[in-house]
Amino acid sequence: MYWLIIASLLITIILFSFTSILMSYTLAEPIKAAIITFDDGMLSQHNYAKPILDKFNFKASFYIICNNVDKENRMNWNNIQTLEEEGHEIGSHSMNHKKLSKLSEEEMDYEIIESKICLQDNGLKVTSFSFPYNDGDDNKKILKIIADNYYIARTASEPLMLFQYKDEEYEHFIVNYDDKYKNQCHHYSIKNNEEEYFKKYTITGLSHEAYKKSGGYSDEEMYEQFIDIVESQTKYNTENTIGAIPILIYHSVDYSNDDYNINPDLFEKEMEYLFENRYKIFHMKDIVYDEEGLHIKGY
């Protein structure tokens, strides 16, 4: 009699263990991740966005226009240094925010190289660059100057940054976004060593406000678009790897309703969505290029 009870218990334990293992595989979900970036060094980023980031313990990457620091509606050096001290990343967005492709080589050097020196002279660690106006990311001369001075660089106008992809896979990537932006593979997809190397200097992000400006969308439509974009990465990711990541680009975060601003209430709603859905938040400096190609460090 006792042996039947013991056998029954053993069978129950085995079935429970098997079910638990099976469920752990069945319930495994792709990693969801994002990189939050800010361009232009606007004071509203410090006054409105930072408290919201603090609320969710998110750290972002801030790209600074060096000659605009301390000007009206811009952050001062103390604001920027505090951001870095608190765990945010600081990057260069040039000296004066000019279109790089319109400049002489000497002027290019000044905008790209001197901006890094300027930030470093103010005690900041700088490894990445953001293209003003997304201009010059297809210019090899500009890319060479950036490659000689920065580890990576970020441009814009793509819903996702795809790390490993085939062209035919991207053709099936459907997201409710204007067709003119569906050109992820534009940045040096030619298969040779030089072009592959330069991919790390054309990291693509999504300028959220550009979508707003292109169609005059409401905050609710913007929020729905945000969810579509950040969720669309899952087809490229696994529970252990990140094949794609949305890099979110913000400018002003205030109540002005200008073309390149986002309402702080909408910004908080978007950050809350990332928090409640357990998104992993990375910095731009977490993107690495090694023998495995371009990827998030550790993934």
Tens-digit pLDDT profile for residues 25-65: 446 899 999 999 999 999 999 999 999 999 999 999 999 99
Q: Quick one: pLDDT band at residue 118, thresholds 50, 70, 90?
A: very high
For residues 172-185, average pLDDT: 39
Dist CA 256 CA 142 (whole Å): 34
| Exposed/middle/buried for residue 141 (C-beta within 10 Å: 0-12, 13-18, 19+) | exposed
Dist CA 241 CA 123 (whole Å): 34
CA dihedral for 297, 172, 175, 228, sign (positive or negative): negative
How many whole angstroms from its chain centre is CA 64? 16
287 phi and psi angles, rounded to 5 deg: -80, 125
* CATH of the structural domain 30-296, one choice from 3.20.20.370, 3.40.50.970, 2.40.110.10, 2.40.70.10: 3.20.20.370
For residues 80-107, average pLDDT: 98
Question: Which pLDDT score is estimated for 185?
Answer: 39
Tens-digit pLDDT profile for residues 180-227: 334 443 343 334 456 666 789 999 998 877 777 777 788 999 999 999
Whether residue 3 is predicted with pLDDT greater than 90 in this model: the reply is: no
Residues in a beta bridge with 245: 161
Question: Which pLDDT score is estimated for 212?
Answer: 76
